[in-house]
A and B are shown apart, each in its own frame.
Chain A
Amino acid sequence: MSQFNEMYEGTSVRPPYARLKDWVATMPEELRSLKQAEAEALFRRIGITFAVYGEGGDPDRLIPFDMFPRVFSASEWSRLERGIKQRARALNAFLVDVYGRGEIIRAGRIPGRLVYQNEAYEKAVAGFVPPKGVYSHIVGVDIVRTGPDDFYVLEDNCRTPSGVSYMLESREIMMRMFPDLFRENRIEPVDTYSEKLRRTLSSVAPAKCKGEPTVVILTPGHFNSAYYEHSLLADLMGVELVEGQDLFVEGEYVYMRTTEGPQRVDVIYRRIDDAYLDPLCFRPDSMLGVPGLMDVYRSGGVSICSAPGAGVADDKAVYTYVPDMVRFYLGEEPILQNVPTWQCGKTEDLKHVLANLPDLVVKEVHGSGGYGMLVGPKCTRAEIEAFRAKIVEDPGNYIAQPTLALSTVPTFVEEGIAPRHVDLRPYCLVGERIELVPGGLTRVALKEGSLVVNSSQGGGVKDTWVLAE
């Protein structure tokens, strides 16, 4: 399988990486290992050790940082940006629709079963339109590349995508270690993210809120693997980081306990799942949420970001239909392609999947973190057969995709520099406006030949550059 190397085209260097060629060439071996150790020390000192995307695993394990940046030209990015924003608009239109009249289902473009019987579909918010018609305020779109102009969306994350702290800290650390690089290259800044996030959240304050909205971040607590990120974002935005017990409902509003007495809260950027938000509406045994929150939310007293119920748009089975959403709601052709996906629940698709297992990647519909998946080309015959039995037992639980020849970016490895596979997660902000910070989180599979970039399976992170025109 030929793999697209984002830096080298044969022996020539692709333009976005032109200046990095000398940087690497002139870097002495000792300096490299020194810098690598320095980077790791910085990450550890910051305390950013959590598993990306809630993948589980050891919460205190340091995720390897690779100093070799991943670079996009202005024109490459401009197309990605348009594609991502288009997708974020379509996903939000879909959410407003399926909690309203369900036109896309009535039109026969997506099966009602996939939506209405989906566990992520929240009946409790049916008929409710959140402020500005936005359900998913931070859309994390996972993208892979297979050629100069070939980008595919692997999945959408409409609930509370994590990992943005890696985007911010990777940049911070690179700038600290290699200030010259940032003088020589015109790199778009990513540190505007927190300001843009703050603006996005404020823009969806409920109508009942007068004046400057009070925004808080609701975290499950310090034992959560992404707690570092929650506190970083709260610091950068200058808002309070709260746990469920810090908030309470009184009358028609939600308040935060402060040393100066109760303060009304207008917008909650929650980093806890729907099921735990309010024991009076969802799981009655939840201690993480705020009792009565959903009643206040539904009556327009507070905004919740992402809106409860947003998860139905990023389900792996619903994913297949995102290009149809773009056509249906926006009347446009999708700029970014989906990876062709077979639904094992469909008889025809299942037949194809079972006949081609060694060439396919098979995933659980609700799985995440690279667990419970089969990467056909990397598996032994016995592993494939064992997985086949699982699929046959419960076909509806699996989807399959072709193994993509993921692009590679030069990466520092023990033997020197070698190409390693990467993916990308940019974070699209949706409020009154749609904004995308030029950059994102690049994950890299550090094992040679590995296509699994998940940190739980030996993945690392890189700084992602977008060059100015």
Chain B
Amino acid sequence: MAVSRRNPLATVALGLVAVIWGFPTLWVLYATFISPRTGGLTLGNLAGALQSAPFGQYAINTVLIVGGLLIVQTVFGAVVGFVLARYEFPGKALITGLFLLQIVVPVYAILIQEYEIVQGLHLLNTKLGIMVPYLVSGIAVLSFRQAFRSVPRELEEAARLDGYDTVGVFLRVYLPRAVPAALAFAVISVTYHWTDFLWPLIVTNTASARPIVVGLATVAEASESGLQWNLLAAATAIVIVPVLLVFVSGTRRILSAFASTFDW
């Protein structure tokens, strides 16, 4: 995504866009570490935010929920995507449509039914209960399906001549070519589940199961008072900095993965 020629105008324009997009994040960091009274550096806001909720426990929960979901979604998405990409069978369009439908219908449209299912499984107030409605991801299935469809048939035929069975073909020929798709999906999945708030709030009650955004919410509500911006900024920083670090470290790969994956 580099600018091909060093056009100074383009550099200025891109710089401006970057500043506008980056401003909220920079402001969060500024408001977290600068005291509004003295204008000097402070850790008081961060300490105040950390006191308002068990952020450590919440962070561990979030990593388990987000990581667990990513693994299950990716494995299921790759296997089903492979079948949908390479096999013909009756009802295939209907099954593909089912996964598309899952993308179109958000969990909140069928909240009470989802709640009843989780309750029926005795998974209320558990991390698994938060994960249940999301374990199968339509986006993962369709992303892998698309990635597998673009693999040339000749590669598979050559591998079969070399003696690979279906599993071998899947693992050695198809999967390596779906890495960009997996990476792009991982970004979507992680950001969505890292920030998903209302569903976890409704199905969980105690710190043993709750994710990190619930901690943020404990200081973000001010319908009956003025907002303490610095406390809110500090809690926001606690929530976003880990994700931000992951993204900054992988920006290039993530961008190219996106460019090659989302051309359904």
Decide whether A and B are members of one complex.
Answer: no
> Which residues of chain A have a CB within 8 Å of any CB of chain B?
none
